[in-house]
Amino acid sequence: MSHILLKGVEKIYPNGYKAIHGIDMEIEEGEFIVLVGPSGCGKSTLLRMVAGLEDITNGEVHIAGRKVNDLEPSQRDIAMVFQNYALYPHMTNYKNMAYGLKNLGTPKDEIDKRVKEVAKLLELEDLLDRRPKELSGGQRQRVAMGRAIVRKPTAFLFDEPLSNLDAKLRVQMRLVIKNLQARLGTTTLYVTHDQVEAMTMADRLIVLKDGIAEQIGTPMELYDKPETKFVGGFIGSPAMNFIDATLSSDFDEIQFQDTKLPLKTKLNSQSSNIIFGFRPEHVTLVDNSAMSLHVELVEHLGAESIIHAKLGETPITLRLNGHIEAKNGDTLNVDIDADRYHFFEKESGLRL
């Protein structure tokens, strides 16, 4: 049985703006689901609809088998971690964590036991008597999580919880959250705009764009088989290269600029104008090939090199292992892994 169920969920604001377009999704118990997309795509709105902080215009949200559309946030048995943590500034960390339980009428010793347990889990024991103001960003983040965990909710909701932390801490906290979630086994919905965060943490993710779910799947499904050009470009870093190409009349060869690439299998397309995509890491340098690029800039990262080049006027990024000697003006010949071609319809951006 699904744990959280979204059935045709829509959000239309009073001014007529449609922020969420009919989203359907079934989430299993214990799954870590990431909502990812560029800012303004509606991912936070969707999360807040699950939380009960935004009204649901159409459709239904079920949590643990209960329809929760008309329930108050506090009745939905969920806990939420906010981007700016939203800790109560005048309460100690202990009270911050205890507040929700207190409102539920939990007995004092039970509250105390649970708060101490969670504090231990998050290594917050020494900080319980301090106020949020006296903590570092990472510590506040942990208190905010602690506040969610003590409630023992059916589901955790995270709204960009790491975006106020510096890069190094973010990587650390990613692991902390992921481990905790695995240990507690609590169903989790997690919003982020950072695709790396999304890829590394999610069991499955939803890519949202303009309130539409572009694709729902595991990280590798999204990486290997993006359903739309948008997902292809959004998942993976550096982003996928896209080239306008023409499909030959017998569907087994594409052509762009001076280059012709034969296809292993015939491509089924209505139109001969298509978009060809390949990932920067799916290329090899060769002495001689059909595709030669003009190097503009090379970034040496040590373990790998990122090469910014041009094919005619189209910018192309390559990601190659090791140290590649190349400089502005050089010509590089490359082969693209034929199993890793992606094709998209030009108009709709849908995968072919």
Partner 1 sequence: MIENRPVSTFISHAVLLAGVAIVLFPIWITIVAASHDAARLLQVPLPLGLGDQFYENLKEVIGKGVGNTAPLGLMLFNSLVMALMIAIGKIVVSLLSAYAIVYFDFKFRMLFFWMIFITLMLPVEVRILPTYEVVAKLGMLNTYWGLTLPLIASATATFMFRQTFLSVPDELLEAARIDGAGPMQFFFDILIPVSRTSIAAMFVILFIYGWNQYLWPLLITTDKNMVTIVMSIKTMMEALEELPKWHHIMMTALLAMIPPVLVVIGMQKLFVKGLTETEK
**Under the rule (CB under 8 A), what is the footprint of partner 1?**
48, 51-53, 72-74, 78-80, 82-84, 86-91, 99-100, 103-104, 147
Spell out the alpha helix ranges (H) of the chain: 43-51, 93-103, 108-121, 137-150, 167-184, 195-201, 219-224, 229-234
Please, what is the minimum distance in Å from the beta carbon of residue 88 to partner 1? 6
Among residues 99 and 223, whose Cβ is nearest to partner 1? 99
Please name every residue paired with 228 in a beta bridge, in sequence order, or none if there are none. 350
Among residues 59 and 73, whose Cβ is nearest to partner 1? 73
Residue pair 150/110 in contact by the 8 Å Cβ criterion: no
The strand pair at 66-67 and 78-81 is best described as unpaired
Among residues 38 and 73, whose Cβ is nearest to partner 1? 73
Among residues 84 and 136, whose Cβ is nearest to partner 1? 84
Helix (H, G, I), strand (E, B) or coil at 152: coil
Say how far residue 58 (Cα) sits from the centre of its chain: 25
Please, what is the minimum distance in Å from the beta carbon of residue 63 to partner 1? 13
Please, what is the minimum distance in Å from the beta carbon of residue 75 to partner 1? 8
333-345 per-residue burial string, b: 16 or more CB within 10 A, e: under 16: ebebeeeebbbbb
Please, what is the minimum distance in Å from the beta carbon of residue 112 to partner 1? 17
Helix (H, G, I), strand (E, B) or coil at 58: strand
Please, what is the minimum distance in Å from the beta carbon of residue 325 to partner 1? 49
What CA–CA distance (Å, rounded) separates 50 from 138? 26
Among residues 72 and 126, whose Cβ is nearest to partner 1? 72
